[in-house]
Structure 1
Amino acid sequence: MSRSILITGGNRGIGHATALAFAEAGHKVAVTYRSGEAPADLVERGCLPVQCDVTVAEQVELAFKTAEAAHGPVEVLVANAGITRDSLLLRMSEEDFAAVLETNLVGAFRVAKRATRSMLRARHGRIVLISSAVALKGEAGQTNYAASKAGLIGFGRSLAREIGSRGITVNIVTPGLTDTDMARALDEERTAAIVGQVPLGRIGRPEEIASTVAFLASDAAAYITGAVVPVDGGISMGH
């Protein structure tokens, strides 16, 4: 059955791969992007690009209205939009700390709150929050990012308890280092050090994260909610 799906930050990396996975499965997919051009391959596959900065409430509302007008009420939300501003704590500005939380955590709050409006009426829905293995194990130089991604776990599990009785599931995926623009920004030495901690000995592929998201959004995962699902090659095991 074709569902109306909205993915924030769907123009690249994990969000892009997730959009492709849903589109290829025949779903109606809308993707938000903050800047630049919408990816041509997503448009070619029928995805609806919507420019939206999740830190601006008015843009979130407009994005949902645009997606709803084209595809109907959002039935699956993937909150993926995120940024990094890495620095050691003593050098980190309050602006950089706040900006990461505003996008990664407060942005997810905005889109989840808006999505539940129609999901509660329908008594059905799927929300998947994209967190990070860093939320579980920590990472030097990423106190802001780790705080924002750990916040998603508490937020998602609390929301799962709030709305589970209405047939809505909320789950959290924690990817490890994945082959995206964000990972490519790391120098070779840092990348090698991280990969050296991964039991599977490599970084992840966006498609591997996307397949997990697609499963959690499917009927096969109807009895899974409040779960934290690591897709990280084993780097966070034990946390």
Structure 2
Amino acid sequence: MGLATAKIVGRDHIVVLCDARQDRLKAAAAALEELGMTPTAVDCDVTERRAVADLLKTANNLGTLASVIHTAGVSPSMGAADYVMRTNALGTLNVNEAFYAVAGERAVIVNVASMAAHLLPAEMVPVDQFPLALRDADAFLEAMMTTCNIVPEEARSGIAYAVSKSFVKWYSQSQAERFNARGLRIVSVSPGSIDTEMGRLEEQAGAGAMVTNAAVPRWGKPEEMAELLAFCASDKAGYLTGTDILNDGGVIASMTERARAAAATG
């Protein structure tokens, strides 16, 4: 999704790419260069606060920072619960706080949450512990692991993913007023099952079944998500902040209606 979005944003803006994997970073930069763009590629692990701060400084030094589209993240199949939580939740915190520190008026950050944040029952979302992340990252991580540990070990990465994406959604809503005081916008987008390398990793873990049961029974295309992400980051969406946009092909809508219909028929 990140590369597809960069191809759109790069038509009118200088693009700075980042990735923790050099092979993907080089491939993405080459793809943009083929389109006549001149991206700046930065090796960056979003879990490293100093590296993220340096990344944002690099972007800011290239000109006026217009937007950050934060697509970095990992799925349950890619690691243990603490790795998933650290990357998705604390990585998002690091990127957003670094953006807040350097961005000028009218800049916007778009975070990627997930349909999983809309599927997790409210009673399993430790939202009262989320503000800990702003004060004590270690205490936050410990609290999140306590939540994940209520399920068997084999299910913890999945819970960590849903909770971490719930945090992304919460952060993007709860910090809107603070960001607006600086003239900044903050938005999150929750994709459904998207036909990417990471998305396909979860195909056998339930994502495939949800695709077939969606109102739109197919995988979403990265280019479809990219159009939405790019719009959110544009001046055309100047009134859009502090909210999450669910773009899941109707999965949540279908599940909700089917549950209602089943309850009505007994």
Q: Does 1:202 align with 2:192?
A: no
2:101 paired residue number:
117
Mapping 1:168-187, distance limit 5 Å: 168-187=184-203
TM-score by length of 1: 0.82
Counterpart secondary structure, 1:28: coil
The CA distance in 2 between the partners of 1:76 and 1:135, in whole Å, is 24
Mark the CA change 1:191 to 1:156 in structure 2 (over 3 Å): closer, same or farther.
closer
1:34 paired residue number:
20
1:18 paired residue number:
5
Offset, 1:42: 2.3
The CA distance in 2 between the partners of 1:125 and 1:189, in whole Å, is 37
Amino acid at match of 1:101: M
2:125 paired residue number:
none
Amino acid at match of 1:132: S
Counterpart secondary structure, 1:31: strand
The CA distance in 2 between the partners of 1:187 and 1:126, in whole Å, is 32
Structure 2, unpaired ranges of 5+: 122-153, 258-266
1:145 paired residue number:
161
1:127 paired residue number:
109
2:250 paired residue number:
234
1:91 paired residue number:
none
User: Greater strand percent: which structure?
Assistant: 1
Q: Work out whether residues 43 and 49 of structure 1, in 8 Å CA contact, stay in contact via their aligned partners in 2.
A: no
Structure 1 vs Structure 2: percent identity of aligned residues?
Answer: 30
Counterpart secondary structure, 1:55: coil
How many residues align structurally?
215
Offset, 1:189: 8.4
Amino acid at match of 1:103: T
Structure 1, unpaired ranges of 5+: 1-13, 88-94
Mark the CA change 1:169 to 1:65 in structure 2 (over 3 Å): closer, same or farther.
closer
Amino acid at match of 2:65: V
Amino acid at match of 2:6: A
Q: Work out whether residues 74 and 115 of structure 1, in 8 Å CA contact, stay in contact via their aligned partners in 2.
A: no
Counterpart secondary structure, 1:49: strand
The CA distance in 1 between the partners of 2:110 and 2:192, in whole Å, is 16
TM-score by length of 2: 0.74
The CA distance in 1 between the partners of 2:208 and 2:102, in whole Å, is 45
Question: Can you list the C-alpha shifts for 1:89-123, whole angstroms capped at 9, x where unaligned?
Answer: xxxxxx8211111111111111111111222xx32
CA RMSD of aligned residues (A): 2.3
Offset, 1:232: 1.0
2:63 paired residue number:
72
1:84 paired residue number:
75
User: Greater helix percent: which structure?
Assistant: 2
Counterpart secondary structure, 1:226: coil
Mark the CA change 1:191 to 1:137 in structure 2 (over 3 Å): closer, same or farther.
closer
Counterpart secondary structure, 1:233: coil
Amino acid at match of 1:133: M
